[in-house]
Amino acid sequence: MAKFLRRRYAITSRANEKMDWLKSLWTAQGIRKHGACLVFGAKIVKEVLVKKRPRILCEILREGEPTVADQGDIFQLSRTLFSEIDEMGTGSPCLAVEAPPLLPRHEFQAPTGLELICPFTDPQNLGAVARSSVGFGLQKIHLTKESAHPFLPRAIRASAGTVFDLQFSEGPPLAEVDIHFTSKAPHLALDMKGSPIDQVHWSKDMYLLLGEEGRGLPAGLSVTRATIPIAGTESLNAAVAAAIAIYVYRKAHPAGY
């Protein structure tokens, strides 16, 4: 079987279209425009290489480093330029891969299992809740208009790469979420005020609406609210609260998990 020739590019100047392309992948706009995203961290890179998913577009190395992939082009950057791309300071080869598309979602249909509706603007919180979702067997996260992009580098790293195991859809602004629910779809909102989380009914097929970090949910949303009783602090980190709620759901519906 014929092998495709891997092109190698030595990049030593900031004034380079490939550097511009790599830098753009640190933004949601760049990810949408190019359909690509950056994967950092030796462990996550290794998992992508083993799974061969998503498709590798190129690997990004420091000058003098050996290649780690067997597919995609090779971008060999000077050490100074590599540090500009490696904003998290991982110090290891990274990959540019195809970014799975976000599904358009003009209104929420009937859920299958527990599906999250997430407005997290912090990509690390979004990545953390993605990791918890995969860990507890969830498959879908619906993003509100405010949400960070799930394939931003910090979201991918915080998720330990699990964002590639989920389906994401783009939904309406958080303030309009309640009018997009179908009447037959049970839903529950996680908020600082509401009924104790272990005393509410968890349907097998339902939505769980998460609040924004710090601000919670808009007061005008017409949804049933549940809260996690705590003492000693005003609130939990949003991703931690979401993980607890997912666990409570899974305790109620362990089948297939």
Q: How many Cβ atoms from other residues are within 10 Å of residue 178's Cβ?
A: 17
Residues 226 and 168 occupy one common structural domain: yes
Model confidence at 257: pLDDT above 60 = no
Residues 116 and 205 occupy one common structural domain: yes
| Domain that includes residue 78, residue range | 8-98
Model confidence at 13: pLDDT above 60 = yes
For residue range 84-110, list pLDDT tens digits in order: 999 999 999 999 999 999 988 755 678
Q: Is 191 inside a domain boundary?
A: yes
Q: How many Cβ atoms from other residues are within 10 Å of residue 135's Cβ?
A: 14
pLDDT band for 2, please (50, 70, 90 cuts): very low
CATH number at residue 13: 3.30.1330.30
Closest by CA to 116, choosing from 95, 97, 96, 131, is 131
> Which has more pLDDT, 232 or 140?
140
Q: Is 212 inside a domain boundary?
A: yes
Residues 90 and 166 occupy one common structural domain: no
Residues 111 and 180 occupy one common structural domain: yes
Q: β-pairing, 36-39 with 94-98?
A: antiparallel
Q: Is 1 inside a domain boundary?
A: no
Q: Is 190 inside a domain boundary?
A: yes
Determine the average pLDDT of the residues in 141-148: 94
pLDDT band for 221, please (50, 70, 90 cuts): confident
Model confidence at 15: pLDDT above 60 = yes
Out of 51, 75, 98, a domain closes at: 98
pLDDT of residue 1: 35
**By percentage, how much of the chain surpasses pLDDT 90?**
72
For the beta sheet containing 56-62, the strands, ordered from the edge strand earlier in sequence to the opposite edge, are 8-11, 73-77, 56-62, 94-98, 36-39
Task: Identify the burial level of 20 via C-beta atoms within 10 angstroms of its C-beta, where 0-12 means exposed, 13-18 middle and 19 or more buried.
Answer: exposed
Model confidence at 17: pLDDT above 80 = yes
Residues 245 and 129 occupy one common structural domain: yes
Average of per-residue pLDDT values in the chain: 90
pLDDT band for 4, please (50, 70, 90 cuts): low
Residues 134 and 61 occupy one common structural domain: no
Model confidence at 234: pLDDT above 80 = no
CATH number at residue 169: 3.40.1280.10
For residue range 27-76, list pLDDT tens digits in order: 999 999 999 999 999 999 999 999 888 999 999 999 999 999 999 999 99
Model confidence at 201: pLDDT above 60 = yes
Residues 154 and 236 occupy one common structural domain: yes
Out of 55, 75, 98, a domain closes at: 98
For the beta sheet containing 167-170, the strands, ordered from the edge strand earlier in sequence to the opposite edge, are 103-104, 167-170, 140-143, 114-118, 206-209, 187-196, 225-227
Q: Is 3 inside a domain boundary?
A: no
> Which has more pLDDT, 230 or 119?
119
Residues 92 and 117 occupy one common structural domain: no
Per the structure, the count of domains in the chain is 2
For residue range 158-177, list pLDDT tens digits in order: 999 999 999 999 988 888 88
Model confidence at 245: pLDDT above 50 = yes
Residues 35 and 52 occupy one common structural domain: yes
Residues 160 and 246 occupy one common structural domain: yes
pLDDT of residue 187: 86
Please give the single-letter amino acid code of residue 10: A
Q: Are the C-beta atoms of 177 and 171 separated by less than 8 Å? A: yes
Closest by CA to 132, choosing from 255, 43, 245, 209, is 245
